[in-house]
């Protein structure tokens, strides 16, 4: 039976949700306050090559493969060199950042140790107790920090692993098996991630009603809509709309992240690789760097090398520093040589990403309550986005498929 669905927000989350409802034959209206659809997902084609505005790739599953076939988009698989991943530990590059003995202890923890969350501990303290200081500093800190755009001290386990049972009754292995779907690895697209957004838009244009440059002024205006109401906007834009539904102390923390894509004549590492994740207090201000032209074919023009460096807002210590100068200092420490860039492109996102801390966990509980209260009044409202118990494009696609 066809239903009326109103999707507020035309970023990648809104496009995914519109796709799923279209497949079910629903009547969809999508509202976007700007002229552009796709949100932060986008690709700039420069004289030197591709510059990704945000996500570099998406984990390919059977469900996503089916969607790509529907919208007529062929994935680009990574080069073999992408299997080589590095960590920056003890001020040097390493593929194995922990000892063999520590690795054995880590496997034991994954298989046998029960997960117990503590709301009074940040992720760094919790991980030290769960895995030990070596694993936390040299693996978890760089890996989690690179994905979530900040250091462990600003995060919390119950928000990061919100789908896991943290009551102390389940092991990590059981939780991983419970949620594990087959993945074919990370893929991109011929013209970059912008291809995904543009193909989705082309697919949806003839099937749904799209209203760009459309802004709702208040929640009261939205509540007048007839049918299902689905919020797919960023926290930054959602909070003002919620108004007095949310108290000041309940407002979650937002992160600002800068990505810098650098084109040069020489590789950062001696051998092609996926990239490098940087441990805390190791002299590098970046959270991580992706070796774009090693990752996927067709990322650069002529004989150039492309890298994308990821920085938290706190990496810039004063206003006199430029992001370009910070990157070059970091790069020289890693490569041990000065190598002037051919071109540098800076993309800064202010307050677009949530901090996965205790406040976000409580905020999501509040949204659950609001959803239930509205449904009890006959108003079907749901909230979707990177703040709703999952990060990454695969997570967004799977969460919207369950609507």
The pLDDT tens digits for 337-374 are 888 999 999 999 988 889 999 999 999 999 999 999 99
If asked whether residues 390 and 327 sit together in one domain, one would say: no
Which residues constitute the domain of residue 142?
A: 98-179
- Main-chain phi, psi angles of 388, to 5 degrees: -100, 70
d(C-alpha 75, C-alpha 189), whole Å = 5
CATH code, 310: 3.90.660.20
Does residue 181 carry a pLDDT above 90? no
Mean pLDDT of the chain: 92
Q: Give me 202's structure tokens.
A: 């082309």
Per-residue pLDDT band for 3 (boundaries 50, 70, 90) equals confident
If asked whether residues 246 and 227 sit together in one domain, one would say: yes
If asked whether residues 244 and 367 sit together in one domain, one would say: yes
Residue 206 inside a domain? The answer is: yes
Per-residue pLDDT band for 149 (boundaries 50, 70, 90) equals confident
Contacts of residue 356, defined as CB under 8 A and 6 or more positions apart, other chains included, come to 148, 155, 156, 159, 160, 391
β-pair partners for 45: 50
Residue 138 inside a domain? The answer is: yes
What is the domain count for the chain?
Answer: 3
Last residue of a domain, one of 154, 179, 204: 179
pLDDT tens by residue, 59-113: 999 999 999 999 999 999 999 988 899 999 889 999 988 888 998 899 999 999 9
Residue 90 inside a domain? The answer is: no
Over residues 30-50, mean pLDDT: 94
Give the 3-state secondary structure percentages of the chain, helix then strand then coil, rounded to 5: 40, 20, 40
Residue 274 inside a domain? The answer is: yes
Does residue 297 carry a pLDDT above 70? yes
- Residue 176 confidence (pLDDT): 82
- Residue 180 confidence (pLDDT): 59
Residue 381 inside a domain? The answer is: yes
Residue 93 inside a domain? The answer is: no
- Residue 390 confidence (pLDDT): 76
Residue 34 inside a domain? The answer is: yes
If asked whether residues 283 and 312 sit together in one domain, one would say: yes
- Residue 62 confidence (pLDDT): 93
CATH code, 151: 1.10.3110.10
d(C-alpha 75, C-alpha 308), whole Å = 21
If asked whether residues 246 and 264 sit together in one domain, one would say: no
CATH code, 27: 3.50.50.60
Q: Scan for tokens 């966990």, then name that residue.
A: 361
Residue-level length of the chain: 403
Over residues 256-262, mean pLDDT: 95
If asked whether residues 265 and 350 sit together in one domain, one would say: yes
Over residues 179-202, mean pLDDT: 89
* Alpha helices per DSSP H over 206-257: 219-223, 235-242
If asked whether residues 322 and 362 sit together in one domain, one would say: no
If asked whether residues 209 and 61 sit together in one domain, one would say: yes
State in Å, rounded, how far the first CA of the chain is from the last one: 15
Measured at the alpha carbon of residue 151, what is the angle toward residues 145 and 154, in degrees to the nearest 5? 125
Surface-to-core class of residue 389, CB atoms within 10 Å of its CB (0-12 exposed, 13-18 middle, 19+ buried): middle
If asked whether residues 245 and 390 sit together in one domain, one would say: yes
If asked whether residues 192 and 242 sit together in one domain, one would say: yes
Residue 89 inside a domain? The answer is: no
d(C-alpha 403, C-alpha 382), whole Å = 8
Over residues 293-308, mean pLDDT: 93
If asked whether residues 341 and 365 sit together in one domain, one would say: no
If asked whether residues 365 and 388 sit together in one domain, one would say: yes
Taking phi over 0 as left and psi of -120 to 50 as alpha, with beta for the rest, 151 belongs to beta
Last residue of a domain, one of 126, 157, 179: 179
């Amino acid at each position: 039976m066809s239903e009326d669905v109103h999707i507020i927000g035309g970023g990648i989350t809104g496009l995914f949700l519109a796709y799923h409802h279209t497949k079910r034959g629903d009547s969809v209206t999508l509202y976007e306050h700007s002229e552009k659809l796709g949100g932060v997902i986008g690709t700039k084609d420069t004289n030197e090559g591709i510059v990704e505005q945000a996500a570099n790739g998406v984990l390919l599953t059977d469900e996503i493969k089916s969607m790509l076939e529907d919208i007529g988009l062929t994935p680009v698989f990574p080069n073999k060199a992408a299997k080589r991943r590095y960590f920056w530990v003890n001020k040097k590059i390493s593929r194995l950042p922990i000892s063999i003995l520590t690795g054995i202890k880590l496997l034991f923890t994954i298989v046998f140790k029960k997960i117990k969350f503590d709301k009074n501990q940040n992720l760094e303290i919790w991980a030290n107790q769960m895995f030990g200081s070596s694993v936390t500093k040299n693996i978890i800190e760089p890996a989690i920090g690179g994905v979530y755009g900040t250091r462990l001290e600003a995060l919390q386990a119950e928000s990061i692993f919100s789908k896991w049972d943290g009551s102390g009754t389940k092991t990590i292995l059981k939780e991983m098996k419970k949620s594990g779907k087959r993945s074919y690895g990370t893929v991109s697209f011929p013209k970059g991630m912008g291809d995904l957004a543009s193909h989705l838009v082309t697919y949806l244009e003839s099937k749904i009603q799209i209203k760009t440059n459309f802004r709702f002024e208040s929640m009261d205006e939205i509540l007048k809509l007839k049918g299902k109401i689905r919020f797919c906007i960023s926290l930054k834009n959602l909070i003002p709309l919620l108004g007095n539904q949310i108290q000041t102390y309940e407002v979650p923390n937002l992160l600002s992240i800068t990505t810098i894509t650098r084109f040069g004549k020489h590789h950062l590492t001696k051998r092609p690789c996926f990239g490098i994740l940087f441990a805390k207090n190791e002299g590098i201000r970046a959270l991580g760097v992706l070796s774009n032209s090693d990752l996927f074919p067709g990322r650069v023009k002529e004989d150039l090398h492309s890298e994308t460096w990821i920085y938290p807002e706190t990496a810039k210590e004063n206003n006199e520093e430029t992001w370009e100068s910070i990157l070059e200092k970091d790069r020289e420490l890693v490569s041990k040589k000065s190598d002037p860039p051919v071109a540098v492109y800076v993309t800064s996102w202010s307050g677009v990403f949530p901090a996965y801390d205790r406040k976000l966990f409580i905020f999501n509980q509040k949204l659950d309550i609001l959803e239930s209260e509205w449904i009890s009044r006959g108003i079907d409202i749901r909230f979707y986005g990177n703040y709703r118990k999952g990060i990454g494009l695969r997570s967004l696609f799977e969460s919207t498929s369950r609507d």
